[in-house]
Amino acid sequence: MELHYSDRNLELFCHVAGLSREDQIVLTAVRDNVHPLIPWLTDRFYEVLAEEPEIKPYIEGRVEQLKKTHVVWLESLFAGDYGVDFIKRQEKIGETHVRVRVPPLFVAASMAFLRGALPPVLVVNVPDAKQAMLATASVLRLLDLCQYLIDRKYAEVLMDNLGISPVLLTRLQTVGKGLALAS
């Protein structure tokens, strides 16, 4: 994937995830098949969210505006432009979720919903079975990237709030790993 972003962690993530220029091409190629279904998918997504009593307070009175934002975001997944602006938009989503105190669990659950909902949409609406399969793999990798970027923003804000450096956080996250391997 052509990110043109000088971030070693992001490069590593994309390499291991297998994100490539081909993903951009595949997702752009199926855009017209998916685009008409995005409002339906967004409606279904917010129906599921509204069923959860813990999530409901975060969306009450704002569902229509949130749906508009969600449609634009979903459309961006099939736009084929995953460069610096795309990355910054994902980070901004993370910042916004932190600012309004949306728990990370809700973001993870939302991404899980999309990982389950998008593949059938692609299989049914992309006429070529091979292209549908490729698009499914591509969009799942892209959703993983989006979640990584959003989660990373949560971690950055937490570190800032606690006064923890990125190096210290990494050390804290990996404490005991060497001990477990040695035993």
Q: What pLDDT was estimated at residue 4?
A: 52
Q: What pLDDT was estimated at residue 176?
A: 65
Burial label for 171, CB within 10 Å (0-12, 13-18, 19+), is: exposed
- Give the chain's residues under pLDDT 50: none
Q: What pLDDT was estimated at residue 44?
A: 96
Distance, CA of 49 to CA of 67 (rounded, Å): 12
Task: Please tell me the pTM assigned to this model.
Answer: 0.86
pLDDT in tens, 135-177: 999 999 999 999 999 999 888 877 777 777 777 767 776 776 5
Q: Longest Cα pair distance anywhere in the chain, in angstroms?
A: 55
Q: What pLDDT was estimated at residue 119?
A: 97
Q: What pLDDT was estimated at residue 157?
A: 78
Break the chain into its structural domains and give their ranges. Answer: 8-182
Considering the segment(s) 8-182 as one domain, its CATH architecture is Orthogonal Bundle (1.10)
Coil/strand/helix, residue 61: coil
Q: What pLDDT was estimated at residue 179?
A: 54
21: nearest Cα among 5, 42, 45, 2: 2
Q: What pLDDT was estimated at residue 167?
A: 75
Q: What pLDDT was estimated at residue 163?
A: 76
